Structure 1
């Protein structure tokens, strides 16, 4: 079985060492035996299960969303965190501390739309529709990021520069609240249109009426959208 050192393996290592030229016989027998033991121990260390560090060698799989969840992902919008790449339309896995680092360490992702029109402006919205949980989303939509006046030329390379109406807030689902969807919606900004939040909206991130916001500023349907799912890293 893979991962175990057979007697044949150690026997082969021993035979190879004994087959050295006789010129090596000048080495004291004690030293020769120590070398022989060292060869056997190295072989054993390399073949034993977990000897190479299971955490570093284990493959960390980003599971794709179900068919119903994938329906939200349209327009080839990419959400890129430097350590893991594009997380669009996937679950954030717990392995390698990815959920913890997403909630505590990582800053805003690069959001990229390869086909964005260079001279047009766009509005980026990031929300959690599952606050405090998906069964009773009383605080839908929780606003995590809102940026307007993003030039298409910047959007093509994933550079989100514009007027920040809501600073990026890391995904931090509550314990035992299950998976949360973190949705990114990209709208084309109408020409010569200034977009803002009301004082009431600025005071609260939760229970945001996204539909009214879109209608008030004539944003229409998103030109692209995507989402990823994650839950509390301690769950």
Structure 2
């Protein structure tokens, strides 16, 4: 009976440990999947890959191992991979925070964190974001006590022979960006893939 109890205890322990993401240390963290309706935003198998944690698509970034702090202060732009991209087509990648300054009062939505156009599908397939950078990558830095923020990645097929640019007004400010108008102005249509992760201030 002691042997059986030991075996069952070991099995239970294994079941409690989440599947590995990134480094060995990350195995002690719980990577919680988003619940509805946030989960519905994730479609098309778009991957967002940061150092140590791996793909954070459709999940909460855990606080353990300083991951939230590193996300806000250390890590540069993630690898974004879309395995179904058409090799010879171009794409537009948008990263925004729709919850600025907080989710209950998002008066500064959409806060633009990254905007890249002219990304070749062949690069997207392997997670390389090469193209024309209209907005440099800005690390997610939710204000203290503002709760969880969604950081959304939207991937659009870029119409052929279409040059995409920001207006002078949009260049001056990252916040209160009219994403809907931007999409309509350049005939981007619906995203071919989208995903998001949630995080909050690492001191909260």
TM-score calculated relative to the size of structure 2: 0.87
3-state secondary structure, aligned to 1:212:
helix
- 2:121 equivalent to 1:155: no
Describe how 1:203-218 pairs up with structure 2 within 5 A: 203-218=172-187
Describe how 1:48-59 pairs up with structure 2 within 5 A: 59=28
Take 1:213 and 1:58, find their aligned partners in 2: how far apart are those partners? 40
Q: Which of 87, 91, 96 is residue 56 of structure 2 equivalent to?
A: 87
Take 1:95 and 1:224, find their aligned partners in 2: how far apart are those partners? 29
Describe how 1:192-211 pairs up with structure 2 within 5 A: 192-211=161-180
CA contact (8 A) 2:95 2:112 kept: yes
Take 1:188 and 1:104, find their aligned partners in 2: how far apart are those partners? 31
Aligned counterpart, 2:191: 222
Aligned counterpart, 1:105: 74
Unpaired segments ≥5 residues, structure 1:
1-55
Aligned counterpart, 1:141: 110
Take 1:114 and 1:97, find their aligned partners in 2: how far apart are those partners? 30
Take 1:57 and 1:221, find their aligned partners in 2: how far apart are those partners? 35
CA contact (8 A) 2:26 2:53 kept: no
Take 1:173 and 1:112, find their aligned partners in 2: how far apart are those partners? 25
Q: 1:199 to 1:61 in 2, by over 3 A?
A: same
Larger radius of gyration between Structure 1 and Structure 2: 1
Take 2:158 and 2:196, find their aligned partners in 1: how far apart are those partners? 21
CA contact (8 A) 2:49 2:55 kept: yes
Aligned counterpart, 1:174: 143
RMSD: 1.0
3-state secondary structure, aligned to 2:37:
helix
- 2:155 equivalent to 1:186: yes
- Residue 220 of structure 1 deviates from its aligned partner by 0.1
Take 2:188 and 2:27, find their aligned partners in 1: how far apart are those partners? 44
Take 1:184 and 1:135, find their aligned partners in 2: how far apart are those partners? 21
- Residue 82 of structure 1 deviates from its aligned partner by 2.1
CA contact (8 A) 2:79 2:128 kept: yes
Q: CA offsets per residue over residues 108-159 of structure 1, 9 Å max, x none?
A: 0000000100000000000000000000001000000000000000000000
TM-score calculated relative to the size of structure 1: 0.76
* Number of aligned residue pairs: 180
Take 2:84 and 2:115, find their aligned partners in 1: how far apart are those partners? 21
- Residue 57 of structure 1 deviates from its aligned partner by 9.1
Take 2:169 and 2:154, find their aligned partners in 1: how far apart are those partners? 22
